[in-house]
Structure 1
């Protein structure tokens, strides 16, 4: 068991693996935050995430994530005409999505401060 875990840690220590693991746990909340104040369509979300190198994700990752968030009741959608091209599906937060995002923010601050303190990137209390 220890050797298996040790191998996992060694692989995770590689930059790409580590970034992927960190992104996996936070991406859905970043997407929720992106539609907190403004409805956005899928391609717009993908493009915005691509601007943040550590959060860049493909459409093959984002569209299933959007679908899960919608089915989970955290997002709602509406179709709207596009100024050029086919209609677009816009995503917005539901009350449950707002609550989940607020809870994440509270937990994230505590988590981040603890990790910063333990790994030496923050102040030591």
Structure 2
């Protein structure tokens, strides 16, 4: 199952992180912790940070540097209008794909 999970997460992690940011702005470690709390224990911080760079480059988030008690300022990410549009597209695509997959699932017998 781990291999399937990893492969499926590659295609959906961006949407999952955007969904997390709908609640409130967050920095990388907070996002990683939330993912783990939601059951994605195998997610590593490096994966999340690389994804945050990508969604920042795509213009889906606004970034604010906030002073940290320990070390350099933290980059806090908040979903912007473009990110909300991307997230809406993600959910529409998710609904389409998951409905087709569910339709293909055999009904258990017995």
Number of aligned residues? 106
Query: 1:89 aligned to 2:56?
Result: no
Larger radius of gyration: 1
Output one character per residue of 1:30-58: Cα deviation in whole Å (capped at 9) or x when no partner.
00111113100110001111113346411
Candidates 29, 40, 44, aligned match of 1:43: 29
Distance 1:51 1:66 in 2: 19
Output one character per residue of 1:45-93: Cα deviation in whole Å (capped at 9) or x when no partner.
01111113346411111101100000011112101123x3233210011
SS class of match (1:78): strand
Query: 1:77 aligned to 2:63?
Result: yes
Moved over 2 A (4+): 52-56
Provide TM-score, normalisation by structure 2: 0.87
Gaps (5+ residues) in structure 1?
1-14
- Of 21-30 and 51-60, the range deviating more from structure 2: 51-60
Distance 1:24 1:120 in 2: 26
Gaps (5+ residues) in structure 2?
none
- Quote the residue 1:110 is aligned against: 96
Q: CA deviation at 1:110?
A: 1.7
Structure number with greater CO (CA < 8 Å, separation at least 6) is: 2
- Quote the residue 1:32 is aligned against: 18
